[in-house]
Amino acid sequence: MSEIDALVNGCLMPGFAGTAVPEWVPDALGEGLSGVCLYGQNLAGAADGTARVAELTAAVRAARPDALVALDEEGGDVTRLEYLTGSRYPGNLALGVVDDEALTEAVARSIGRDLRRVGVAVDFAPSVDVNSDPRNPVIGVRSFGADPALVARHGAAAVRGLRAAGVAATAKHFPGHGATTVDSHLGLPVIDVDEAVFRGRELPPFTAAVAAGADLVMTSHVVFPALDDRPATLSRRILVDLLRGELGFAGVVVTDALDMAGVRAAHGIPEAGALALAAGADLLLVGAEDGEEHCAAIRAAVAAHLRAGTLTEERLREAAGRVTALRERLAAAAAPPAEDGDGIGAEAARRALRSRDLVPLPAPAVVVELRAEANMAVGEAKWSLAEPLDALGLMAEPVTVREPGPSAEDVLARAAGRPLVVAVRDACRSPWQETWLRALTGQRPDAVTVALGLPDDLRLVPGPALATHGAARACTDAAAEALRG
């Protein structure tokens, strides 16, 4: 392998298919690959997701002890360690509702310690996007809220907590993904606001995260026309002039996954990777697909750009050098002392509950779960309100509702004469769920509606209601306890 190819490898972080580390990964690590990113698909079929992650990281480190292993462990709805069971920690929106920075820092520190115990040194968290548009299909409860100052305070606290546990923290998705109505996994979002609005709304949380010591900043595949006509991942104006120059960020700039349509649709993965390096990115997150062929294609694309003069060897060496410095620092870092973090997630989830006219269930209830397709960041991570209610002896019958049925009328007939609980998750952004929910609660205003996503769902219904601000296991357990009274 040439020196240039080895430098490119040092800027690559692919995923891989399957539930075991494939043979090509150790070979690539021996040729300079920076490390790997783990995804929910890598946990399929595992009895214990945390144990599976530990097995995978051990296999990676056996090939290269200083390899980076990263994943998205935001707490709340986006989890990899507890993808199969639901997270023991509430997510950002719940923490923003509580608005206790010390609690946010403690939760992040506990998450970081969980990661360190299984060999993960890089967390692609926290999201410091300001969720200014409730229609946002991909951020939502992953944001601390809609107030830039609140998001800035809690984003900085989360960065401090992760770093205190010896885990590299990543502020994402720069310079903001909260005002979009398009999911960049599926298309190219545009946030068309003037620069003054952008600087007052999107930018403050990233400024705070950088000041708090964020080790990485992840780019967004989002266009800000006031700044550039290219998505941020491919914009030198945003990554170099703004992030490096104005915010003074000196760490690793990592792209969001290059297999997302926000950049892949127009450029393809290899070309997007080369363009991102030229724009100022250091680490290319290749994506969840098996990365062997994509890495080879990116090396070829980078070589073509070097020959054309659209990417310089100096820029490539700079990028690889930053990633190497991060890898070496994390490998040399001592593990933090043991600390009992048990219970912090449950405490945070309980404090985040908000209720309206809620009374304890008088008897076991028919528990309805409205389920729509989750966004790709969340994936198939588990959530259930029926299970914790059943564990408390408060579930008479579970009913799962997906489009197109069963109908509200069918469920009303089944629940006649019995308490009724309906769990919803962002029905305010799903026309069929909103119609279904209104039809049911119009006939059963005594039904308890539990919003496991945005609290906006509760505006759709009369009667008793509970908002958890997330669907993590910590949140559903807290909701079940509240319904028991």
C-alpha distances out from residue 478 to 278, 390, 433, 485, Å: 48, 13, 24, 11
- 3-state SS assignment for residue 9: helix
- In the chain, the amino acid numbered 99 is D
Options 129, 183, 215, 256, the catalytic residue: 256
**CA–CA separation, 5 and 428 (whole Å):** 49
* Bridge partners for 283 per DSSP: 254
**CA–CA separation, 403 and 470 (whole Å):** 22
Options 154, 177, 185, 294, the catalytic residue: 185
Nearest by Cα to 168 from 101, 246, 71 = 71
- In the chain, the amino acid numbered 25 is V
256 belongs to the catalytic site: yes
Q: Who contacts 307 (Cβ-Cβ below 8 Å, separation ≥6)?
A: none
Tokens of 299: 């090396």
177 with 122: CB under 8 angstroms? Answer: no
Q: Which residue has the tokens 């006509």?
A: 229
Check the CA dihedral 166-17-278-199 and report its sign.
negative
DSSP-assigned letter for residue 406: S
- 3-state SS assignment for residue 99: coil
81 with 49: CB under 8 angstroms? Answer: yes
38 with 80: CB under 8 angstroms? Answer: yes
- Give burial (CB, 10 Å; 0-12/13-18/19+) of 197: middle
Residue 318 phi, psi dihedral angles, 5° rounding? -60, -45
483 with 476: CB under 8 angstroms? Answer: no
Distance of CA 431 to the CA centre of its chain: 25
**CA–CA separation, 444 and 78 (whole Å):** 33
- Give burial (CB, 10 Å; 0-12/13-18/19+) of 290: middle
**CA–CA separation, 306 and 312 (whole Å):** 6
Tokens of 359: 């009374």
DSSP-assigned letter for residue 91: -
**CA–CA separation, 111 and 91 (whole Å):** 11
Alpha-carbon Rg of the chain, whole angstroms?
23
Tokens of 235: 């914009």
Q: Any idea which residues carry the catalytic annotation?
A: 185, 256
